[in-house]
Amino acid sequence: MDEITFAVLGTGGIGRRALEVSQHKDALTPVAACDRHGTAIDFDGLDVDELLAATEGNIDSGPGDDEIATDGGSGATAADGVGPTQQRDTGGDGVKQHGDGKGVVASSQARASEDPIQDVIDHGDGIDAVLLAVPNYEHDFIPRTADRFLEGGYAGVLIDVLKRSRVIDMLDERSADFEDAGITFVCGAGATPGLLTGAAALAAQSFVEVTEVEIWWGVGLKSGYEDNRGTVREDIAHLPGYDIETARELSDEEIEAIIDDHDGVIEFQDMEHADDVLLERAGICEAEDVTVGGILDVESDAKPTTTTVSVTGRTFDGETATNTFELGDRTSMEANVNGPALGYLSAGVRRNWAGEYGVFGPAELLPRF
Ligand code: IKT
């Protein structure tokens, strides 16, 4: 199998776990990782163990922990982090302290940079795929990052794990530019959208008409809370009374107050998750027939509910039935986000090598409806 080289933009929870999971994939070589402080690049393959050890507990505090500037290096992101702060007790051993906020530069493989994204673009010839492991606190953050790769002449795969439906349109607007540039953009390739969208697309194959897709997830994040603060913040934006802008402005303490108000267990209904538009663009069902919801428990590592995808439809021979796909209660969210992200990354690279460019959702990389 041909070796695939990839970079991660962002060394927060998703970037770090993606690097870790890639160690278990023979054909994947991580060659670059950056955050807003700097860049590590090694075409012989990054020493992931060193990078993870050096940066453990050394991430920025605040909402900008995964974030990197898209403005050419001024660092003027709307959610720029600040210095060390206190955070939620995640392990029963008292309040933990963030590190000194040096991020990736704490690794001996990295160097400080004014413009880490440009570093990656400048080395783009040797990078088959770039995983955008950054939260989309502004709806156009990922599209704007893609613009920089377009402007920089990158030709390869860009892949994200974004959640919000409306971002897909913003990427579609760039589809012709991606095609001209030779970019294969795979969007929504985490757990949901991503793994569960793909599961729905497979389950739909039994039907000639799909009438309903229901995605219901359960996540237990006691020990994983610190690594996944970005995801929790994005989830809170789905609660009544909040949106992405107000959630972005919340301090860590305000987030924890909201969690405490819910006794650590928050239920989400009718989330704006891109599974709907991604299933529609693959021709599987109408976006309005897809619902996404779930339960987040930050007081326990056990899933509060089994993650389930239910696809209801009509078969060619007149039956109405529901095909159900369940995740194991012991597969972690990290496994269910990063395994699929790397799997879709590999699928995207194969499309790219075959000359297929433009925007692809997870369901378009599977059997078509
Ligand atoms: C995501 O990161 O894809 C979305 C999160 C839900 C993950 C579902 C994983 C289910 C499982 O591991 O059983 C959430 C909406 N932030």
Mean pLDDT of the chain: 89
pLDDT in tens, 13-42: 899 999 999 999 999 999 999 999 999 999
If one residue of 239, 291, 337, 338 were mutated to test the ligand 1 pocket, choosing by the most ligand atoms within 8 A of its CB, it would be 337
Model pLDDT, residue 340:
98
Q: Which of 89-93, 100-104, 351-355 has the lowest mean pLDDT?
A: 89-93
State the burial class of residue 261 (Cβ atoms within 10 Å of its Cβ: 0-12, 13-18, 19+): exposed
Closest CA to ligand 1's atom 12: 333
Model pLDDT, residue 238:
93
The percentage of residues in the chain with a pLDDT greater than 90, rounded to a whole number, is 79
Model pLDDT, residue 82:
22
Where does ligand 1 bind, in terms of residues with CB under 6 Å?
Answer: 190-192, 217-219, 231, 235, 294, 303, 307, 327, 331, 333, 336-337
Structure tokens that stand for 305 in this block = 């509910």
Backbone phi, then psi, for 239, in 5-degree steps? -75, 150
Ligand 1 midpoint to CA 249 (Å) = 22
pLDDT in tens, 38-53: 999 999 999 999 999 9
Q: Is the confidence metric ipTM above 0.90 for this complex?
A: yes
Let me know how long the chain is.
369
Domains located in the chain, CATH noted: 4-192+335-365 (3.40.50.720), 206-330 (no CATH)
Ligand 1 midpoint to CA 56 (Å) = 23
SS3 track for the chain = CCCEEEEEECCCHHHHHHHHHHCCCCCEEEEEEECCCEEEECCCCCCHHHHHHHHCCCCCCCCCCCCCCCCCCCCCCCCCCCCCCEECCCCCCCCEECCCCCHHHHCCCEEECCCHHHHHHHCHHHCCEEEECCCCCCCCHHHHHHHHHHHCCCCCEEEECCCCHHHHHHHHCCHHHHHHHCCEEECCCECCCEHHHHHHHHHHHHCCEEEEEEEEEEEECCCCCHHHHHHHHHHHCCCCCCCHHHHHHCCHHHHHHHHHHCCCEEEECCCCCCHHHHHHHCCCCCHHHEEEEEEEECCCCCCCCCCEEEEEEECCCCCEEEEEEECCCCCCHHHHHHHHHHHHHHHHHHHHHCCCCEEECHHHHCCCC
pLDDT in tens, 132-150: 998 767 889 999 999 999 9
pLDDT at 343 over 60: yes
Structure tokens that stand for 51 in this block = 């990078």
pLDDT tier at 79 (50, 70, 90 boundaries)?
Answer: very low
If one residue of 131, 162, 219 were mutated to test the ligand 1 pocket, choosing by the most ligand atoms within 8 A of its CB, it would be 219
Residues with catalytic annotation?
163, 234, 238
Can you tell me the mean pLDDT for 310-327?
Answer: 98
pLDDT tier at 1 (50, 70, 90 boundaries)?
Answer: low
Ligand 1 midpoint to CA 333 (Å) = 6
Ligand 1 midpoint to CA 194 (Å) = 10
Closest CA to ligand 1's atom 11: 333
pLDDT at 95 over 70: no
pLDDT in tens, 208-257: 999 999 999 999 999 999 888 888 999 999 999 999 889 999 999 999 99
Q: Which atom of ligand 1 is nearest to the CA of 335?
A: 12
pLDDT at 84 over 90: no
Ligand 1 midpoint to CA 217 (Å) = 6
If one residue of 192, 276, 329 were mutated to test the ligand 1 pocket, choosing by the most ligand atoms within 8 A of its CB, it would be 192
Contact in structure between 102 and 112 (CB atoms under 8 Å): no
Rg over alpha carbons for the chain, rounded to the nearest Å, is 20
